[in-house]
Every structure is written in C-alpha cells, then in structure tokens.
Amino acid sequence: MRIVCVAAVAAALFAMGGPALAQSPDPADIHRAALTQGEFDPFTRVLARIDVSQQRMYVYVENRLVHVWPVSTAGYGSYTPRGQWNAYWLSPNHRSSKYNNAPMPWSVFFNGDYAIHGTTAVGQLGSPASHGCVRLHTDNARIFFDLVERYGMASTVVSVVD
C-alpha cells in the first residue's frame, strides 16, 4: 500500500510540472489568497493567477484550481506588469511585431501588448526570461487559450502578483 501511495504522489508531482512544485505554496493557500484579494467575482469563470516570485501560473475554472504550470515572466531589464485585467484579444498564431517576428502561439492578450503565450524556450520555464509577456509551454498555452475561448474573454481575469 505504501508503495502505491508514494508512486501516486510522485506521479502527481510529475504531472504538475515536476518536483520543483513540491517547494511551491499549497494551492489551497493560494486559492484562499485569491479569494481574499477579490480576484474572484460572480462574473469570473476563468482566473489565471501568475505568481512572479514563484514563476507559476495557477488556473482556476469556476473557482476550482485545475492547472499549475511553470512560466517565464520578465527577465533582467524587462518588466511584467502587476495587476488585474480581462483578456481582450485572442491570437492563435501571433508573431511579435517588436521582437524579430518571434512566434507567440496561442496568445491571450490582457494588457496592451502583454500576453500569455506559448514558447519554444521551454528550458527557461520556471525562471524569468521574457521581455514582459508570460511564457508557457505551448501545450499549456493552447489549453489556456481554449479555456478562454470556451468561457469568454469578458469572463477571464488575468491577475499578476509578486
């Protein structure tokens, strides 16, 4: 029985992004903090809570934590804005007009030119490395994009916290 339990915990950690998440705060604590900070309201169906200090994105659907993913926010000399916004534009095959036509697949724009999007630089996920956007593994970016498309941009909140 103990072997099965250890294997189940190991499998869960691997599925959530590896052993590094064992160091992360308890998702229940993050959920309580999100509720306390007013990030959930009757109109929020999808919440993407980006924790810059943890380099993690916590995705809630209808107030239930459903995904925890490593991200890359702004690297040295760049800045990812803090605050809350609704998603306002979806672009599945976006390319950067600022950074050499760099691919930004499955982009969900939330504040001006800032977006949550896929990246090919997956080795940098979990560390600050972007020009300000929130980078995700492309598979995860597509999942998030599909959630926003399904529930609607007006019902999607992006919250970036320290």
Each residue's pLDDT expressed in tens, for the chain with a length of 162 residues: 334 333 444 444 444 444 444 455 666 566 556 655 666 667 789 999 999 999 999 999 999 999 999 999 999 999 999 999 999 999 999 999 888 889 999 999 999 999 999 999 999 999 999 999 999 999 999 999 999 999 999 999 999 999
What is the distance between the alpha carbons of residues 15 and 34, in angstroms, rounded to a whole number? 23
CB distance 48 to 71 below 8 Å? no
Per-domain boundaries in the chain: 25-161
* SS3 state of residue 45: coil
Distance of CA 63 to the CA centre of its chain: 15
| Amino acid making up residue 74 | A
Copy the structure tokens of residue 19: 């052993």
Q: What CATH architecture applies to the domain 25-161?
A: Beta Barrel (2.40)
Give residue for tokens 């803090």.
Answer: 82
